[in-house]
């Protein structure tokens, strides 16, 4: 069966996360239903990451095995038509080798977490960023983030229900970007790693917000990491500001698209 790679964008607010489950709709279910409008017997799709409820994506990657060898452009156009009015879209589609896998072929994932510090409620960015009231010190947040880069036991920063076999991960990069915004400031945390633990990014974002607000000294991040204890973590940030922005592969199937 011909295999196609799909780059997927979605607003996570209406969904119970990526993964299909009983109950509220998921992104996977929505995308599979659109694909099965074209081929009813299509098997389940694979994905690079299982984002949680409310988490967004601009660079999620999935693969689908189809009976027909579709032209990628026509396939993406047809699927996007059947996705309406759900806030999900295919932004790129390419034919890939039969042994290529959206999850297992990936060598890195990239996430961005947006924090907007201002007193006024969010309007255009409502549901797309975490609003906090007080100003944040980006320099202190960078100092705190530096303690997390590298190969560590991230027990403190993973959910108790995390199913990963090991809490040890290598966090390749955290960049703290400060952006001006009307009436306040925006902090964007950019994180890159081969893989992440359940709630790891949101746990890091909530902890660094405490540092930026002056409630934690940067050194406390290192102490929390070394504690290997979930109780030592800062508050877990809400999903609103989290977005899966990209997935890396040895040979990027979407290069130049």
Cβ proximity of 10 and 55 under 8 Å: no
pLDDT of residue 1: 85
The pTM (predicted TM-score) of the whole model is: 0.95
Instruction: Give CATH 3.30.70.660 domain extents, the chain.
Output: 106-245
Catalytic residue among 11, 41, 52, 125: 52
CB-neighbour burial class of residue 31 (10 A; exposed 0-12, middle 13-18, buried 19+) = buried
Q: What is the dihedral of CA 196, 201, 204, 210, to 10 degrees?
A: 180
Q: Please tell me the class of the 3-104 domain.
A: alpha beta
**What pLDDT, on a 0 to 100 scale, did the predictor assign at position 256?**
65
**In whole angstroms, what is the distance from residue 232 CA to residue 159 CA?**
12
**At 146, is the secondary structure helix, strand, or coil?**
helix
Element (H or E) spanning 9, and its range? strand 3-10
CA 191 from centre of chain? 10
How many CA atoms within 13 Å lie on the side-chain side of 137?
13
pLDDT in tens, the chain (257 residues): 899 999 999 999 999 999 988 888 999 999 999 999 999 999 999 999 999 999 999 999 999 999 999 999 999 999 999 999 999 999 999 999 999 999 999 999 999 999 999 999 999 999 999 999 999 999 999 999 999 999 999 999 999 888 889 999 999 999 999 998 888 899 999 999 999 999 999 999 999 999 999 999 999 999 999 999 999 999 999 999 999 999 999 989 998 66
Domain span(s) for CATH 3.30.70.580 in the chain:
3-104
Q: What pLDDT is recorded for position 181?
A: 84
Asked about 52 being catalytic, the answer comes back as: yes
Give the pLDDT of residue 177. 98
Residue 39 confidence (pLDDT): 96
Fold of the 106-245 domain: Alpha-Beta Plaits (3.30.70)
**CB neighbour burial string for 115-147, b if at least 16 within 10 angstroms, e if fewer:** bbbbeeebeebeebbbbbeeebbbebbbbbbeb
């Amino acid at each position: 069966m011909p295999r196609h790679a799909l780059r997927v964008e979605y607003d996570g607010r209406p969904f119970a996360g990526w993964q299909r489950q009983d109950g509220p709709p998921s992104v996977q279910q929505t995308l599979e239903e659109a694909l099965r409008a074209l081929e009813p017997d299509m098997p389940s799709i694979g994905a690079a990451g299982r984002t949680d409820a409310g988490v967004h994506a601009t660079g999620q990657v999935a693969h689908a095995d189809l009976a027909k060898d579709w032209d990628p452009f026509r396939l993406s156009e047809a699927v996007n038509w059947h996705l309406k009015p759900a806030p999900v879209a295919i932004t790129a589609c390419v034919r890939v080798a039969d042994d290529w896998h959206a999850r297992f072929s990936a060598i890195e994932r990239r996430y961005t977490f947006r924090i907007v510090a201002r007193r006024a409620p969010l309007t255009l960015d409502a549901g797309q960023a975490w609003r906090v009231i007080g100003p944040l010190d980006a320099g202190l947040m960078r100092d705190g983030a530096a303690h997390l880069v590298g190969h560590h036991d991230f027990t403190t920063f993973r959910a108790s229900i995390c199913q990963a076999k090991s809490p040890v991960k290598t966090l390749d990069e955290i960049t703290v970007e400060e952006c001006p915004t009307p009436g306040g400031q925006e902090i964007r945390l950019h994180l890159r790693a081969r893989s992440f633990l359940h709630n790891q990014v949101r746990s890091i974002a909530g902890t660094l917000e405490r540092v930026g607000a002056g409630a934690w000294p940067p050194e406390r991040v290192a102490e929390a990491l070394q504690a290997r204890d979930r109780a030592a973590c800062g508050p877990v940030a809400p999903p609103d500001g989290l977005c899966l922005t990209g997935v890396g592969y040895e040979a990027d199937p979407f290069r130049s698209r």
